[in-house]
Every structure is written in C-alpha cells, then in structure tokens.
C-alpha cells in the first residue's frame, strides 16, 4: 500500500478549475467563466462541476449579454439604495451583480449588457439595461 507524502506536490487533474488562472489582458472588462469538459455545464467561479462533480474545467470568455432573473433593492451598509441582481448570462451561467439605473426600475426579464467587469467598491460585475422596457403609461 502506497501513501502520498505531504511534502510532495502533486498536479491536479484540471487547471485549478480556471479560477486561479491569470486573466488575459484583453479580457479585463469581460466576465470569464468555466465550462465542464465532461458534461458542458457553464458555471461561474466553481472548483467542481455542480452537475457531474468533474474537476476538468476550461476557462471561457463571456459575450457579456444576459437577462435579469431576480433583482432586489438593498438599503443596508450603503448611503443610498442599490440593487442586487441575479443575471443569467447567454452562455448559461448565473452571476450576481448590479444593474445601473434606478433600483426600482430593474425587473425580471430585462435584458442587460456588461458595463464593467468589476464594481470598484464591491468587486461584482456592473450591467446596464440594453433597451428600456415598455411598462405602460400608468405603471
């Protein structure tokens, strides 16, 4: 029976799930995500695939277009109200971020595009509305 020594470094099966890979200079204003090489599931900042538990994940660059799935207004730990939204990206993964605009004007189903890859204060992606949705004259 053979036991691995704790002093010896052993390479992992994947590339550390892409989370620890350096971000290319041309994708500083882009969202990078992982895709499982076994089942093709797209995910954001994971070490293992949530579907098949595979560790072989490759890093890809997102186009930056998505749809708001959930948005809420937060008043805590901030001088002004802000929104926190869950955005489902076109590639199939979900990311938490902030949508620019009035917090009460962001609704589920709104289409958004990545504005900057990171909020300078909170470090989460910032999105902007693609087109102003029609809400009706008395909404």
* pLDDT, tens only, 54-79: 999 999 999 999 999 999 888 877 77
Report, as an integer, the average pLDDT of 77-82.
77
Report, as an integer, the average pLDDT of 23-27.
48
Report, as an integer, the average pLDDT of 30-47.
92
Sheet holding 42-43, edge to edge: 42-43, 32-36, 57-61
pLDDT at 25: 46
Q: For residues 1 and 43, which has the higher predicted lDDT (pLDDT)?
A: 43
Residue 119, classed as helix, strand or coil, is coil
pLDDT at 11: 39
The β-bridge partners of 35 are 42, 58
pLDDT at 56: 94
Residue 92, phi-psi category: left (phi > 0), alpha (psi -120 to 50), beta (remainder):
left
Residue in the structure block whose two tokens are 């002004």: 80
Q: Would you place residue 29 in the very low, low, confident or very high pLDDT band (cuts 50, 70, 90)? A: low
């Amino acid at each position: 029976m053979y036991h691995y020594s704790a002093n010896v470094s052993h390479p992992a099966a994947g590339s550390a799930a892409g989370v620890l890979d350096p971000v290319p200079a041309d994708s500083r204003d882009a969202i990078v995500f992982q895709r499982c090489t076994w089942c093709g599931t797209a995910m954001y900042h994971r070490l293992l695939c949530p579907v098949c538990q595979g560790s072989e994940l490759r890093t890809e660059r997102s186009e930056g277009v998505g749809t708001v799935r959930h948005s809420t207004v937060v008043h805590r730990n901030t001088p002004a109200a802000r929104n926190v939204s869950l955005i489902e990206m076109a590639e199939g993964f979900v990311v938490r971020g902030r949508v620019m605009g009035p917090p009460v004007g962001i609704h589920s189903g709104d289409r958004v595009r990545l504005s900057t890859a990171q909020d300078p204060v909170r470090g989460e992606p910032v999105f902007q509305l693609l087109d102003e949705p029609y809400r009706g004259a008395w909404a």
